[in-house]
Amino acid sequence: MIEAGSLIRSLSGRPAARNFHTFVINEIGQGIVTGKYPVGSILASDAVMMETYGVSRTVLREALKTLEAKGLVEARPKVGTRVSLPSRWSFFDPQVLSWHFYAEPDRHFYESLFDIRRALETRAAALATQRRTAENIRVMKYWLHQMESAGGDLENHGVAALEIHRTIAETSGSPLLRSVTGIVELTLALALKQCLATGPGDYLSTTLEALTRLVAAIGSADAATATDIVTEVIDLDENRVMALL
């Protein structure tokens, strides 16, 4: 299971702590999503992969089972492990989503991400205005303060923004709407990636200002304003991400 925020934290280049099992999952999974292992191809034999990744047969088999559960591969007797069609991939899986950060920019895929993010986050924000508690608002304001204190640091800004979005999803009270977190993190990470390449401009300050208004709208139970501001925030991220194309 990928920890929320780990993709954004990787922008600094610091390697994440890992064990052999997660290492193999990431290496093969990212290789599939980025096209290193093409759709329909058969992965190398167990012996070759054990040698390649320096792991035991047990570790390799467990990693392949995890990837099969995510829909990326399919093991067939006397054939081997075949890379599955993208239509079988579990795109709501945060780990599968995170591997797309390293893939070539794809306009259709990016548009799909933002379509789903709009549908889920606007609903989550509307529900949050009905179900928020004083503690929910306190947590959101804490992360707003962290954004203010980031001092232009993209990683700290991104992690704090993600935590605000996560808190809104939690506040909605819907376990299904919480599944938006992986999409939010990927789109935020892609937006910050573009900021790294070209400079943030007014992206950081504009995002902070919009999220401040969003938290205020949720606190005052103003569903219409909250959903409008969520759309505004998502548009800011989408404009940045589409610039990658």
Residue-wise pLDDT tens digits, 109-149: 999 999 999 999 999 999 999 999 999 999 999 999 999 99
Q: Which CATH architecture group holds 6-88?
A: Orthogonal Bundle (1.10)
Q: The tokens 């947590």 sit on which residue?
A: 139
Q: Residue ranges of the domains in the chain?
A: 6-88, 107-242
pLDDT bucket at 10, cuts 50 / 70 / 90: confident
**Structure tokens that stand for 234 in this block:** 């998502």
pLDDT bucket at 1, cuts 50 / 70 / 90: low
How far is Cα 184 from Cα 166, in angstroms, rounded to an integer?
A: 9
How far is Cα 65 from Cα 140, in angstroms, rounded to an integer?
A: 38
Output the CA angle 145-215-117, nearest 5 degrees: 105
Give the domain 107-242 fold. Four Helix Bundle (Hemerythrin (Met), subunit A) (1.20.120)
Question: What global pTM score does this model have?
Answer: 0.93
